[in-house]
Amino acid sequence: MFDSPYMYPPQRYLPAKATGSDSSDAGNFNISSVRLRVGAPPPMGLPLNNEWNAQCSLISDELGRGVLESETKKILSAEGVTDVISVELTPRDVELTCQEGRPTIFIVARWEDGYSDLWEAVVRKVKKLVDSKRLTSEKLGDIDITVEMIAEELTLKKYMSAIPEEILAGGLERDCPGIKSRVIEILDSHSATKGMGEITLCKLGFSPQDSENPDTVYVSTDYESDESKWPPIMEEIKQYLKEVDYAQLHVQFEHGMSDALLGLQQVSKEPMCSGKEGKENGGGNLSRGIEGLSPLFAAA
């Protein structure tokens, strides 16, 4: 447990783990490819801020305003990526740090299962493009431009709220201890999540109307947890929930302990309380400032 929701562990400031590598005119580079997000070099953990800085101004001035974005869109089109929301040059940095944001070609697109290989191919090509372009300017030679492609859902505001009492009364409250115990067993049976998870039960989704968001088993992991290993773990949990007739429960994994979970030790010990709040950011995780979530699943 951290002393403050704004005091992150050292791993918070490290980039994602590399899952592959390639080379460009500027030399070798690593790449991180996980569900919903691909980056070269591996991007920092979410959430990140986007605030224009001097390096991005220099890149824009030297190469021409909008040139990298235009060339990136051509690659996306050539690769058959049609559901593109936005392409922009922007700095990406961890909030509340003094580090200057990484200049980044930031691509937001709609994700579908099976897109990992396609997105990785796009990011590789765009990275080679931007490296080639920056080497044409002596002023940009030492600036490494990151390429990040992210699913739209990771940039949208999310809402978290309590499970209504009428749903709990249908048997979920009774079954929570057993579900929690089994989910912990599954997490601890994998090196990527062993001893690294906090879990809670909540409604989580993109609608400000609580009733429209799915009931969710939310797992918040340590930043050391290898995100590339999550998909089979999530599938194992989903399969278990299906076996015990709770297939309607969604499963969500995210890095970092949300403020909501940080506050769970102080909330009422009644089965459920109320409260929700959403937060919007430039490619982020869970909303902040949520109180009163179910202690049934708290503290794995």
Residue 288 confidence class, pLDDT cut points 50, 70, 90: very low
Q: What length is written for the chain? A: 300
If asked whether residues 19 and 98 sit together in one domain, one would say yes
Q: Are residues 31 and 90 in the same domain?
A: yes
Single-letter code of the amino acid located at 227 = E
Residue 181 in contact with residue 244, Cβ under 8 Å?
no
Radius of gyration of the chain (CA): 21
pLDDT per residue as tens digits for the range 247-278: 999 999 988 754 444 333 222 222 222 233 33
Parallel, antiparallel, or unpaired: how do β-strands 146-151 and 37-40 relate?
A: antiparallel
Question: What does the pLDDT read at residue 141?
Answer: 80
Query: Secondary structure of the chain: what % helix, strand, coil (to 5)?
Result: 35, 25, 40
Per-residue model confidence (pLDDT) at position 167 = 86
Pairing label, strands 27-34, 48-49: unpaired
Q: What is the pLDDT of residues 29-39, one digit of tens each?
A: 999 999 999 99
* 299 has a pLDDT exceeding 50: no
Domain boundary among 135, 153, 171: 153
Residue position matching structure tokens 């909303």: 287
User: Is residue 23 over pLDDT 90?
Assistant: yes
Beta sheet of 197-205, edge-to-edge order:
250-255, 215-221, 197-205, 158-161, 277-279
C-alpha 192/C-alpha 200 separation (Å) is: 19
The percent of residues in the chain predicted with pLDDT above 70, rounded, is 80
User: How many domains does the structure of the chain reveal?
Assistant: 2
Mean pLDDT of 46-74: 94
Confidence of residue 9 (pLDDT cuts 50, 70, 90): low
Q: Is residue 141 part of a domain?
A: yes
Full domain range(s) for residue 215: 158-297
| Residue that has been written with the tokens 């088993």 in this structure | 217
> Is pLDDT at 209 greater than 70 in this prediction?
yes
Q: What count of other Cβ atoms lies within 10 Å of the Cβ of residue 252?
A: 18
Q: Report the Cα 180 to chain-centroid distance in Å.
A: 23
Please report whether residue 75 resides in a domain: yes
- Encode pLDDT of 145-163 as tens digits: 999 999 999 999 889 999 9
pLDDT at 10: 59
